Structures are given as structure tokens and as C-alpha cells.
Amino acid sequence: EKAVNLKKDLAEMQEWMTQAEEEYLEKDFEYKSPEELENAVEEMKRAKEDVLQKEVRVKILKDNIKMLATKVPSSGQDLATELNIVLENYQLLCNRIRGKCHTLEEVWSCWIELLQYLDLETAWLNNLEERVQMTGNLPDKLDAVNDALESLESVLRHPADNRTQIRELGQTLIDGGILDDIISEKLEAFNARYEELSHLAVSRQITLEQQLQTMRETDHMLHVLQENLTDLDRQLTSYLTDRIDAFQMPQEAQ
């Protein structure tokens, strides 16, 4: 009777594993929204816990069959063969569910990381847009133009590492068919804004550089002219002080 019960327990365990495999491993999942992906992650976590909890039952079955084999070798041997099959299937099921759970957790982590990088780069784009707008109405002063140029250049020196991460994370998820529509839309909008603002900022940078160069050249010319006028004023003042007749002066002084 004990052998019959153990045989029944083994059959039930095998049936449960078959159902678990069908439910958790053979279904085709399509993750088209973050909610679907998050629900799938939580479901696989529960599946992993559920499967691992069966480990106690498997151990009890194993111990009982070993005990029966010592008492009734003939019955125990048959059950031991079935037990080995169940143990192999159970271990395989555990490994596959652990693997799928780990994969889904990695995918979810990848999605969250993508959102974080997008938030960082969007904040940078907002800053860049603000700096570009600030260069629109500058006072016609060298210091103001120079400060605006340095401010814009400091923002443009932003490293490209985050954008590389966005591209790689997005492509990884899209290649896996995960949230591909949502991610493609987000990346398209981000890249379009990035290209537009980058080109505008670089164009404004070139304009400011040219404006600054012109102002510096003009400032230099005015400085040279002022020095010449000062020298001429000093020379004329000297002539007047010495009461030199105009006809005695050099032609340029006259």
C-alpha cells in the first residue's frame, strides 16, 4: 500500500511539473507595454518560489522511497527508477524557470536603465535649449558675448556616453521584440530633438565666435586709433607750449 501511495505521489508530482512547464515556459509572451513586462517579471518570481517550495516535497518522496527500498527491495527499485526521472525533470524545471526569471529581471532592469538615461539626456537637452535661447538677445558688449559663448560651449562639451547607452539598450530590447513600439517612438523623438538642438547650438556657437572676433578686431582698431590720437594730442600740445609757428611744423602737424 505504501508503494502504491508513493507511486501515486510521483505521478502527481510529474503531472504538476508538466502543468508548470506549460504555464510558465511554453506560453508565448509579447511584451508590448511596461505593465505587461512588469507583470511577467512578477509572475516568474512567483513561479520560481512555487517551484522551489516543491523541493521539500521532492525530498520527502526521495527519503520515503529510499526507506521503502531498504525494506522491500523489489518495490523500492521500481520506484527508485521513477524517482530518478522525476528528480531529473524537477531539476531541469527549476533551472529553466530560474533562467527565465533571471532573463526577465535583466530585461526589466534594462528598460529601467534606458528610462534613466533618457531622463538624464532630456535634462541636458533642456539645459542646452535654455542656453541657446539666452544667446538670442545679447547686449552689444564683448564681455556679454564672450560669457554667452563660454556658457554654450560648456554645455556642448557634454560627453556622448549616455547617448551610446541609450542606443545600445534600446537596440537590445528592440532586437528581443520587447516594448519595441514604445522604445522606437521614444528613441525617434529623442534623436530628432537632439539633432535639431545640436545643429542649432553649433550654428549659434559659430555665429557667436564670428561676432566675438569682429568685436575684438573693432576693439583693437579703436584702441590703436585712441593711442594715435593721444600721441597726436601730446605732440600738438607740445607745439603750442613751445609757441612754434605753424609753418615750422611738419606737414602732417599743420
Residue 123 in any domain: the answer is yes
Q: What is the mean pLDDT of the segment spanning 53-77?
A: 78
Q: What is the CATH number of the domain that holds 99?
A: 1.20.58.60
Residue 245 in any domain: the answer is no
Please tell me the total count of domains within the chain. Answer: 1
Among 9-13, 49-53, 74-78, where is mean pLDDT lowest?
74-78
Residue 39 in any domain: the answer is yes
The candidate with the shortest Cα–Cα distance to 24, out of 52, 45, 54, is 45
Residue 223 in any domain: the answer is no
Long-range contacts of 62-66 (CB under 8 A, 24+ apart): 62/87, 64/2, 64/6, 65/6
Q: What is the mean pLDDT of the segment spanning 181-193?
A: 95
Residue 218 in any domain: the answer is no
The candidate with the shortest Cα–Cα distance to 50, out of 90, 11, 9, is 90
Structural domain boundaries enclosing 83? 1-211
Contact call for residues 33 and 173 (beta carbons, < 8 A): no
Q: Tell me the pLDDT band of 113, cut-offs 50, 70 and 90.
A: very high
Over residues 115-145, the pLDDT tens digits come to 999 999 999 999 999 999 999 888 888 899 9
In this prediction the pTM is: 0.77
Residues 147, 220, 235: CA angle, nearest 5 degrees: 145
Q: Tell me the pLDDT band of 152, cut-offs 50, 70 and 90.
A: very high
